[in-house]
Amino acid sequence: MVDWYQEARRILRAELARRDVGYKQLAIMLQGIGVSETERSIANKLSRGSFSFAFYLQVLKAIGRTEVNIDVGDIGK
């Protein structure tokens, strides 16, 4: 059975790793686009994997990612 929260966490963490962005830096970047998050709140969201799609989009915008392609074909194999 697929743990969708774990998959969401893995995908977003991979995006951050590709950009070499830590949680503290991400909090600052999010503030730059008008989103109020703390390092701790980000860590909590990512550890649970239960963040909203809106949060995912905010993170992508903050880190400068202009498009994303998620291949869900490999999930659950």
User: How far apart (Å, rounded) are the C-alpha atoms in residues 35 and 51?
Assistant: 14
Which tens digits make up the pLDDT trace of 24-60? 999 999 999 999 999 999 999 999 988 999 999 999 9
Domain membership of residue 13 (yes or no) is: yes
The answer to whether residue 44 sits within a structural domain is yes
Q: What is the span of the domain harbouring residue 44?
A: 4-64
How many domains is the chain partitioned into structurally? 1
Instruction: Answer whether residue 28 is part of any domain.
Output: yes
- What DSSP line would sit under 6-53, residue for residue? HHHHHHHHHHHHHTT--HHHHHHHHHHTT----HHHHHHHHHHT---H
**CB contact at 8 A, 27 and 42:** yes
Q: What is the pLDDT of residues 9-26, one digit of tens each?
A: 999 999 999 999 999 999
Contacts of 63 (CB under 8 A, 6+ apart): 15, 16, 19, 21, 26, 29
